[in-house]
Amino acid sequence: MSAARPMSAARPRRLLTVCLGNHCRSPLAALILAELGGPAVDVRSAGTRDKWVGKPAHGQMVTAAAAAGYDLTAHRGVHLTPGLLDWADTVLAMDGANLTALRTLADEATAPKLGLYLGDRDVPDPWDKEPEVFANVVRLIEGGAPRHLP
């Protein structure tokens, strides 16, 4: 009879959140998942486009996140790579367009890892919208987080 591996030795679940630019939704989702999941998760975020690589999160998202108690000021944009897809146990697209883009990049091993963050609906892109839209996106992402946590 073999001994069960202690929980402390278990590898954290690796979650990758993805949106278009890694500028609004995916960095917030990664932050919320990391804060709520603690040591049980290792979370990263990336964008399917490279426009915001190395840049901070969108100012309106930083403000909306702060109002909900999340600090996005340390975020810097990352471009999605095949290595990130391989690294992740689960890849969470913020919307159907991002999921379609992910499917074009995925191979046999990574395709089963892909899904929508909210399961059956999109997290709307708040880009160029009113502050209330950013605040609503924060609430949607926060509400969807528990489904992805161990």
> Which residues are annotated as catalytic?
19, 25, 125
Q: Closest by alpha carbon to 10, among 150, 147, 145?
A: 150
Let me know: does 31 contact 68? Beta carbons within 8 Å: no
Let me know: does 98 contact 125? Beta carbons within 8 Å: no
Q: 32-37: which pairs have CB atoms within 8 A and are 24 or more residues apart?
A: 32/70, 32/141, 32/142, 32/145, 33/145, 33/148, 33/149, 35/70, 36/145, 36/146, 36/149, 37/12, 37/13, 37/145, 37/148, 37/149, 37/150
Task: Report the SS3 class of residue 126.
Answer: coil
